[in-house]
Amino acid sequence: MSLFALCLLLVCPVLFLLVAFRFFRQHNYKMTALFVCLAVTVGFIGGVKGYGEMDTRTKSTTASTFDRDQKENMTRRYEQAVSILKGLNFNHPDREKAEEAVHLLQDFHDAQLLTSLDGACPDAEMLLSYAEAMNQVAAYRGHMSNKDVAGDRKLLSIVQDMPEGYKGTLAEKIVPFRRLIIAMNEAAEKEAELDKKNAQKHAANLSKGKYGGIHPGDSEDNITAAYGEPSRVNVSEGEGKKMKQYVFNHNGKSIYVYTQDGIVTDVSM
């Protein structure tokens, strides 16, 4: 409580009451009543002002405590999320961890909250975008193809909004991640164009009574032109090599085409 409010609440009423008591002894009851009323009025005003000051101070203290606690809580969540994102592996992402990182960073969408943190959680919005993107990747459980990337509009939207020259927190993971997703999308576009051409070639070959004609040493790109769309493709990796088994069904027979790093290694029925 300020000195002014204290004077209004205590000092002034006491002085007015002393004056009122003097008039009372002189049997001047009108002046006595006047100064008693003044004492009560001034005391009331002082009480209201003092309460207002104390209420304002209490609210300010409460708000300050809330801001401090909120800052500590958000900083702790930010640090936990950064730790999780550091450990996520693009080839085998843990979906539960990715979802946890998204949950921890979700509130950082609020611009007002970011301002109140005074830079305690740098690049939080970018980290949230990265966490959401990794959560999309994790849905494929380590088997995301170029076509999957091209078809995942949410993932592409997030990645395309990431600045190309980002140099902030976890830039060493985010920048390569962005480049990889964009490269996979571009590769998917090329694959789609190649598939279209191969489908046309395959249709032309069938019209001429031709089917197959793939041999060891041929490029993997020619397989669908010779056999059409496969019923399935089995993929495996080992010793730094990528191997595929294309399975085709033709006239009730199964045809298997094997490739290694983009080159046909065997054809069997």
Say what the pTM is. 0.62
Do 243 and 259 contact (CB within 8 A), yes or no?
yes
152 phi and psi, to 5 degrees?
A: -95, 90
147-170 pLDDT, tens digit per residue, is: 999 999 999 999 999 999 899 999
Tell me how crowded residue 45 is: count the other CB atoms within 10 A of its CB. Answer: 15
What per-residue confidence (pLDDT) applies to 9? Answer: 62
Per-residue pLDDT tens for 101-113? 999 999 887 777 7
Distance, CA of 165 to CA of 103 (rounded, Å):
26
Cβ within 8 Å of residue 246, ≥6 positions away: 223, 227, 230, 233, 256, 257, 258, 259
φ, ψ dihedrals at 145, nearest 5°: -95, 175
What is the DSSP-derived secondary structure letter of residue 219? B
Tell me whether strands 253-260 and 263-268 are parallel, antiparallel or unpaired.
antiparallel
267 or 55: whose pLDDT is higher?
267
- Of all residues in the chain, what percent carry a pLDDT higher than 70? 88
In whole angstroms, give the CA distance from residue 87 to residue 83. 7
63-105 pLDDT per residue, tens: 455 456 678 888 899 999 999 999 999 988 899 999 999 999 9
DSSP conformation class of 230 = -
Q: Which residue has the higher pLDDT, 34 or 172?
A: 172
Single-letter code of the amino acid located at 127: L
At 24, which helix (H) or strand (E)? Answer: helix 12-25
Which residues does residue 238 pair with via DSSP β-bridges, in sequence order? 241
pLDDT tens per residue, range 127-153:
999 999 999 999 998 889 999 999 999
In the chain, the domains with their CATH numbers are 1-87 (no CATH), 90-210 (no CATH), 212-268 (3.30.1450.10)
Nearest to 146, CA basis, from 177, 92, 89, 190: 190
* Number of Cβ atoms within 10 Å of the Cβ of 181: 23
Residue 3 above 70 pLDDT? no
Residues in the chain: 269
Range picked from 20-24, 58-62, 251-255 for highest mean pLDDT = 251-255
